[in-house]
Structures are given as C-alpha cells and as structure tokens.
Amino acid sequence: MSNKILVVGSINMDMVVKTAHIPQPGETVLGGVFFMNPGGKGANQAVAVARLGGKAAFIGKIGDDIFGKQSAHLFDQEGVDISGIFSDPESPSGIAMITVDDSGENSIVVAPGANAHLQPQDVAAAFGKHPDAAVMLIQLEIPMETVRHAAQCARDKGLLVILNPAPANSSVSDLFHLIDVITPNEHEAEMLSGIRIKDLSSARRAAERLQQLGVKSVIITLGKQGAAVLHEGRFHHIPAPVVDTVDTTAAGDVFNGALAAGLADGRGLEEAVAFACNAASIAVTRLGAQSSIPYRNEVLFNIMN
Ligand code: RIB
C-alpha cells in the first residue's frame, strides 16, 4: 500500500440539472434530467485517491443532517478514513447547485454550510491521528485560515503539500512558501500570476511567476489540452487523451486525487501528471462528480491502449 494522503476540504451534496444551455442572468430555461450525487472538491479528491489506489484520510465538516450522514457513509464504503470528519449541529451540510449544458460545461453555486465552520483547531486535532501521513492535499472551499493552518502543520511535519487553488481566491498567495505543488486551472493561474494564458508560452510565464512567488512546482491544468508542468527547472506539456466530453464537473478533482495518489505511490511528477490527465479524461465522459471518478484499473487500461 502506498503512503497515506490527508485530504483537507469540503463535502457537498450536488443537485444537478442537465440543460441545453446554461441560463443567462434573468433567464429561465426548461432543463432535462435532475439527479443528486455526492460532491465537494475535498470529498471528490479523497474518493479519487481511494479509487485510484491511494490510502486516503479526510478532514472536513458536515451538518447533523441526512446529506452529511450519506456523505460520511459513502466515504466509509470507499475505504476513506473518516476519523477526521466533524459534525456541526448548528449548520446544514454543504450543497452545490449545478447546471451542465450539452457541451459538458457547467456552472456551480456552492452553499458551504458546515464547510465554512471547519476550524484550524479541528485540523490540528485530526492531524494528530495520522502521524504516518506523507502527503496533504488541500483546496479552497473551506476558510482560508484553516487552509493556512493545515499547510503549516503539514510543512512542519515534512509532508508533501499539494494545493489545488479552487475555487479561485487571490488571497492564497501569502501561503505559497508552504506549498510544494500547486495545481491551478488556466483561470486560477491567470488570477494568481497576473498573466493571461493563451498558449503554452504564456502558461510557462505564468508558472515561472508562481515559482517566483514561492511555490516549488507548478502544474497548470489546461482542460482538453492536458497540463503544463514546471518542475526542477524543466517545463513540459503533457497532453490528455482525446475523448467525447459529457460533463466536466469534478475533472479537476479527479486530476488532483490521481496526482496525489501517483506521487504517494512513488511516481515522478511528470509520470504522476500523465496518470492524472488519463484519469480526468475518463471522468469527463461520465455525468456527475463522485459518480464519474474512475478506478485504478480503468486508468491503467486507458494508458496501455
Ligand atoms: O469540483 C466540483 C465540485 O465543486 C462539485 O462536486 C461541487 O460540490 C463543488 O464543490
């Protein structure tokens, strides 16, 4: 079994409606299928780690309600360690309202609920239960002071710290010195670097800027184009397989979970990114967040064929 990965982040229940196009402000559209599906960037990444062969433990907060209980139960079934899940009797569990259009693009509004009450002291208490953890994976759907505390705890204990700066938030730049690997998409990389990404050469300049700001290695995810990697002075473009996209929801989460699982398994960064691009390319061919996450054997089969 590979090294343990601590995922610190959000848990939501996703309410998804398929629609021909995403409504403009003030517009009502008649949509199609509706379904509920467990989500939340943190939860999705933890499940991705587990399905892709990693050993995952989750730190997060749910409400004392049916959605929270379902999410924790599902984690348990996936083999994710849930000893770091706290319950907040005062708040509902997080939910996300998602519309997915015919091209697979989405729009998401999150009501954070209990996720907004995950405190630094919760992280400190849960962190102590995992002295064997080797990697920490964090996103930005929890309070920024909790993100900062998690990154500092991980850095102090010598864990590899991966930050997925999603959703975009410019105030994260003051903790770049604590981050080993950052994984923005194009939009997030533009916000954090101030450089508009139009092609690989502008992606390289944005990655170099993020390194100058204190991050060790930079991976910019480029959707269908794969990912751009700046690591140990080398810049690489790693392409993604060509697929028919059904729903891009959680593609970034699958990428990050796969990346963490690959690194915890001892793969080099470029090899782990190629594994992650393959995993994400499978996820976008399926509807939903956790319902779209592939298993390790599917990804290995994809790589071999
Ligand atoms: O990244 C996709 C996720 O973003 C969804 O599952 C939704 O819950 C939001 O957190």
pLDDT tens, position by position, 169-190: 999 999 999 999 999 999 999 9
Does the structure show a pLDDT above 60 at 1?
no
252 CA: nearest ligand 1 atom: 1
What residues contact residue 199 under an 8 Å CB cut-off, 6+ apart?
Answer: none
pTM above 0.85, yes or no: yes
Distance 150 CA to ligand 1 centre (A): 20
Mean pLDDT of the chain: 96
Q: What is the pLDDT of residue 103?
A: 93
Percent of the chain scoring above 90 in pLDDT: 98
Percent of the chain scoring above 70 in pLDDT: 99
Taking the C-alpha atoms of residue 279 and residue 301, their distance in angstroms, rounded to an integer, is 11
Distance 305 CA to ligand 1 centre (A): 30
Q: What is the pLDDT of residue 305?
A: 82
251 CA: nearest ligand 1 atom: 1
3-state DSSP of 157-199 = CCCEEEECCCCCCHHHHHHHHHCCEECCEHHHHHHHHCCCCCC
Distance 141 CA to ligand 1 centre (A): 9
Please write the tens of the pLDDT for every residue from 132-171: 999 999 999 999 999 999 999 999 999 999 999 999 999 9
Q: What is the pLDDT of residue 69?
A: 93
Of 10, 11, 12, 13, the one to substitute when testing ligand 1's pocket (max ligand atoms within 8 A of C-beta) is 12
Q: What is the pLDDT of residue 81?
A: 97
Please write the tens of the pLDDT for every residue from 81-99: 999 999 999 999 999 999 9
Active site amino acids: 253
Q: Which is higher by pLDDT, 305 or 178?
A: 178
Instruction: Read off the pLDDT of each residue in 50-56 and give the average, rounded to a whole number.
Output: 97
Please write the tens of the pLDDT for every residue from 97-125: 999 999 999 999 999 999 999 999 999 99
Instruction: Read off the pLDDT of each residue in 232-258 and give the average, rounded to a whole number.
Output: 97
Alpha carbon of 38 to those of 13, 57, 106, 236: distances in Å?
A: 5, 17, 16, 34
Q: What is the pLDDT of residue 37?
A: 92
Atom 9 of ligand 1: nearest residue by CA position: 40
Atom 7 of ligand 1: nearest residue by CA position: 40
Instruction: Please count the structural domains in the chain.
Output: 1
Taking the C-alpha atoms of residue 156 and residue 152, their distance in angstroms, rounded to an integer, is 6
10 CA: nearest ligand 1 atom: 10
Q: Which residues share a beta bridge with 137?
A: 7, 162
| CATH number of the domain encompassing residue 114 | 3.40.1190.20
Atom 8 of ligand 1: nearest residue by CA position: 40
User: What is the β-pairing status of strands 181-182 and 160-163?
Assistant: parallel
Query: What confidence category does residue 295 fall into, taking pLDDT thresholds of 50, 70 and 90?
Result: very high
Instruction: Read off the pLDDT of each residue in 246-254 and give the average, rounded to a whole number.
Output: 97
Please write the tens of the pLDDT for every residue from 209-231: 999 999 999 999 999 999 999 99
CB 229 within 8 A of CB 218: yes
Q: Which residues line ligand 1 (CB under 6 A)?
A: 10, 12, 14, 39-41, 44, 96, 108, 110, 141, 249-250, 252-253, 289
Atom 10 of ligand 1: nearest residue by CA position: 40
Distance 75 CA to ligand 1 centre (A): 16
Atom 6 of ligand 1: nearest residue by CA position: 39
Q: What is the pLDDT of residue 304?
A: 86
Query: What confidence category does residue 33 fall into, taking pLDDT thresholds of 50, 70 and 90?
Result: very high
Q: What is the residue range of 120's domain?
A: 4-304
Query: What confidence category does residue 48 fall into, taking pLDDT thresholds of 50, 70 and 90?
Result: very high
